[in-house]
Amino acid sequence: MENFLQLLIAKYNYWIYITLMMIGLFGVIAKNNLVKKIVGMSIFQTAIILFFVSMGMKKGATIPIVLHDHGAPSPVQAVDYINPLPHVLMLTAIVVAVSTLGVALALAVKVYKKYGTLEEDEILEQIRNS
Amino acid sequence: MTEHLPALIVVVPLLTSFLVFALGWFRKDLCFPAGLCGLAVAASSCIGLLVKVIRWGPVTYKLGGWEAPWGIVYVVDTLNGMVLAAVCLSASLQWIWSGPSVRRYFHDRLGALYGLQMLFVTGLLGMTVTGDAFNLYVLLEIASITAYALIAMGPERASLSSLNYVFMGTLGACFYLLGVGYLYIMTGTLNMADLGSLLTKLHSSGAIQVAFIVIMVGLWLKMAFFPLHGWLPNAYTHAPSPVSGLIAPLMTKVMVYVMIRINLHVFGPAYCFEKLGLDRAVLWLAVVAIVMGSVMALAQKDLRRMLTYVILIEVGYMVGGFWLGNRSGITGAILHLLNDVFMTLCAFLAVGNLLYRLPGCTFAELKGAFSKMPFTMGALVATALSIVGVPPTCGFFSKWYLLLGALEAGHYGFLGALIFSSLVSLVLFFRVFEQAFFTLQDHENAKHPFSFTLQEAPVQMVLPLLIAAAGLVALGVLSGEIVSGMVEPVIPPTVF
């Protein structure tokens, strides 16, 4: 039990991302409304973005801009700086997430114009009856 | 000049797609030739590169001059050289073929359709050529998002099918990204070659195991491997016919290529086939995929929908063949990947031609199609022979390697599934040809069985189809050279 608690507290960033990811997955799979599904998908993507962002974090480190002592640069210690690479990667992933969200919402509008509803079961019933 | 070929493969289609988008606003008639020029440049650089790679070995191109583990590199060996050439050639054939039907259905949205098609090809080429795990994710999403948009341009249920594809596809890409994150935590690198060498020391790590499984699930979602295939039949059936001729042959095949690349050169065959012990489970999954795909294909009454289930069967072949884990099986999977690009291309081009002239392509509507459209149906027969696996066509040779692999691995379930699905394909296509050849359309023709009116699709649509069909035979005849020159060198010597 104590081990488990330690695991829970020491790796809290992982637990947060897993919880968010599962909420998103639940939304995509279980929700009936298409927009709710899109929201779930967006939460899922955000969870992974947060996972990457937390991965670059170091205790007691600062933003990755090299400090200068006005003329005499001190040797750079990697421990003093947060790893910027995962953050930079996530800039791209955010762009991808935004465009996916845009496409998905545009499609939802198209679906709504065609069927007059966003509830999946009602749409499927209309398709079955036609 | 030739040292910049790998960059040209991606940059030229990318710039062309923007050019085509812009031309769509003021000179619509120039969209088609401009795109064709872009594809021609990309195709010739692919073929030039392939020849270079076969002669002098793999090529590495550093983008912006950054050295390997830090910068993004493009790596071309015979495996992806071959896939690149296949993607470029089939995209060019499709581009020429789609001209008349795009003008008929999309005259008001010409620029958007052509621009998206070009961007889709860019994504696929980039995914194939890149040697960086994260870069692959970005290009995968470029290809996927354009595919969603292209499919949604279709009539009727297209937007709903496309939305389902968005959900499944995005989950797949996210799983892949998550796996890459785990790999980055463990190794601190994103370069595939670097990952490959660092991972050899980490075989017992649990995080790597999670990364492997998550990446595989993501890729299987994208390639529609059996339990994760839900999005594919609807998306490809409801897509507009010019578009399904582009997406159906290429998307799943490139994803299979990515799986092969990641398993062989990132995790390594020792990890996948020996350490993990998952190969039997995946093989049985492939068996189920093939059998279920065959059964569901039998239940269809529409030619295009039936072909989407044939794609599922072929994905089962390739995944199963690869996971046999021996030299013949992997050779079969890679060869089948190449062949299947052209088989599916041929099949969907033929369906597009039928849809251009006929109201639909349910079996009832195909009555008398042979007498009306002999060239299209002839090409469809060649495709069917290849999918069933009849010797002069290419399908036979890859299936032969797969069968050999199954025998060597002693996996009789996969062997049985291969034979079962070949027999089912025979039935599937015979049903189509029976309707199209022996049933005459109406009473007029019944009175005069030898009089018919030719209603073939335009030459611009028939010619690319016939070239693709001839390609099926050519690939079959050349399969020995392809295996010895391109497939053998990329399989690691540790695989027997």
Residue B212 has pLDDT above 60, yes or no: yes
Phi, psi torsion values for B462, nearest 5 degrees: -80, -40
**Mapped to the 3 state alphabet, what secondary structure does chain B carry?**
CHHHHHHHHHHHHHHHHHHHHHHHHHCHHHHHHHHHHHHHHHHHHHHHHHHHHHHHCCEEEEHHHCCCCCCCEEEECHHHHHHHHHHHHHHHHHHHHHHHHHHHHCCCCHHHHHHHHHHHHHHHHHHHHECEHHHHHHHHHHHHHHHHHHHHCCCCCHHHHHHHHHHHHHHHHHHHHHHHHHHHHHHCCCEHHHHHHHHCCCCCCHHHHHHHHHHHHHHHHHHCCHHHCCCHHHHHHHCCHHHHHHHHHHHHHHHHHHHHHHHHHHHCHHHHHHHCCCHHHHHHHHHHHHHHHHHHHHCCCEHHHHHHHHHHHHHHHHHHHHHCCCHHHHHHHHHHHHHHHHHHHHHHHHHHHHHHHCCCCEHHHHCCHHHHCHHHHHHHHHHHHHHHCCCCCHHHHHHHHHHHHHHHHCCHHHHHHHHHHHHHHHHHHHHHHHHHHHCCCCHHHHHCCCCCCCCCCCHHHHHHHHHHHHHHHHHHHCHHHHHHHHHHHHCCCCCC
Best mutation target, A89, A92, A130, to test chain B (most B CBs within 10 A): A89
CA distance B241 to B237: 9
Enumerate chain A positions whose Cβ falls within 8 A of a Cβ in B. 25, 28, 34, 37, 41, 44-45, 48, 51-52, 55, 86, 89, 92-93, 96, 99-100, 103-104, 106-108, 110-111, 114-115, 123, 127
Residues of A in contact with B166 (CB under 8 A): 41, 100, 103-104, 107
Residues of A in contact with B181 (CB under 8 A): 48, 51-52, 55, 86
What integer pLDDT is reported at residue B104 of this predicted model? Answer: 84
**Contact (CB, 8 A) for B465 and B102:** no
CA distance B321 to B326: 9
Q: What is the mean pLDDT of chain A?
A: 86
Confidence of residue A72 (pLDDT cuts 50, 70, 90): low
Which of A44, A99, A107 lies closest to B163 in CB terms?
Answer: A107
Residue A74 has pLDDT above 80, yes or no: no
State in Å, rounded, how far the first CA of chain B is from the last one: 39
User: How deeply is B328 buried, as exposed, middle or buried, from its count of CB atoms within 10 A (0-12, 13-18, 19+)?
Assistant: buried
**Contact (CB, 8 A) for B259 and B322:** yes
What integer pLDDT is reported at residue A103 of this predicted model? Answer: 93
What integer pLDDT is reported at residue B409 of this predicted model? Answer: 85
Residues of A in contact with B171 (CB under 8 A): 25, 28, 41, 44
Which of B138, B149, B157 lies closest to A96 in CB terms?
Answer: B138
What integer pLDDT is reported at residue B1 of this predicted model? Answer: 63
What integer pLDDT is reported at residue A71 of this predicted model? Answer: 63
What integer pLDDT is reported at residue A69 of this predicted model? Answer: 61
What integer pLDDT is reported at residue B275 of this predicted model? Answer: 81
Residue B451 has pLDDT above 80, yes or no: no
Residue A1 has pLDDT above 80, yes or no: no
Residues of A in contact with B138 (CB under 8 A): 92, 96
Residue B450 has pLDDT above 60, yes or no: no
Searching chain A, which residue's CA lies closest to the CA of residue B180?
A52
What integer pLDDT is reported at residue A45 of this predicted model? Answer: 93
What integer pLDDT is reported at residue A99 of this predicted model? Answer: 93
Q: ipTM score of the complex?
A: 0.91
**Contact (CB, 8 A) for B342 and B468:** yes
Confidence of residue A60 (pLDDT cuts 50, 70, 90): confident
Best mutation target, B127, B130, B153, B163, to test chain A (most A CBs within 10 A): B163
Percent of chain B with pLDDT strictly greater than 90: 34
Q: Which two tokens stand for residue A110?
A: 């198209």
Residues of A in contact with B137 (CB under 8 A): 93, 96
The sign of the dihedral angle between the CA atoms of B469, B470, B475, B477 is positive
Confidence of residue B227 (pLDDT cuts 50, 70, 90): confident
Confidence of residue B336 (pLDDT cuts 50, 70, 90): very high
Q: How far does A35 lie from chain B, in Å, by closest CA? A: 11
User: How deeply is A64 buried, as exposed, middle or buried, from its count of CB atoms within 10 A (0-12, 13-18, 19+)?
Assistant: middle
CA distance B6 to B75: 8
Length of chain B: 496
More confident residue, B434 or B85: B85
Please compute the mean of the pLDDT values over residues B331-356 and round it to a whole number.
91
Please compute the mean of the pLDDT values over residues A54-62 and round it to a whole number.
82
Q: What is the mean pLDDT of chain B?
A: 87
What integer pLDDT is reported at residue A73 of this predicted model? Answer: 61
Enumerate chain B positions whose Cβ falls within 8 A of a Cβ in A. 134, 137-138, 141, 145, 148-149, 152, 157, 159-160, 162-163, 166-167, 170-171, 173-174, 177-178, 181, 184-185
CA distance B238 to B72: 37
Confidence of residue B24 (pLDDT cuts 50, 70, 90): confident
User: Per-residue pLDDT tens for B134-162?
Assistant: 999 999 999 999 999 999 988 878 888 99
What integer pLDDT is reported at residue B446 of this predicted model? Answer: 53
What integer pLDDT is reported at residue B95 of this predicted model? Answer: 92
Confidence of residue A70 (pLDDT cuts 50, 70, 90): low
Residue B453 has pLDDT above 80, yes or no: no
Residue B495 has pLDDT above 80, yes or no: no
Please compute the mean of the pLDDT values over residues A75-87 and round it to a whole number.
80
Q: How far does A130 lie from chain B, in Å, by closest CA? A: 11
What integer pLDDT is reported at residue B70 of this predicted model? Answer: 80
**Contact (CB, 8 A) for B436 and B367:** yes
Please compute the mean of the pLDDT values over residues B447-468 and round it to a whole number.
76
What integer pLDDT is reported at residue B377 of this predicted model? Answer: 87
Q: State the Cα angle at B286 between B314 and B183, rounded to 5°.
A: 100
User: Per-residue pLDDT tens for B371-413?
Assistant: 778 888 889 999 999 999 888 888 899 899 999 999 888 888 8
User: Per-residue pLDDT tens for B165-192?
Assistant: 999 999 999 999 999 999 998 888 888 8
Best mutation target, A22, A33, A103, to test chain B (most B CBs within 10 A): A103
What integer pLDDT is reported at residue B128 of this predicted model? Answer: 92
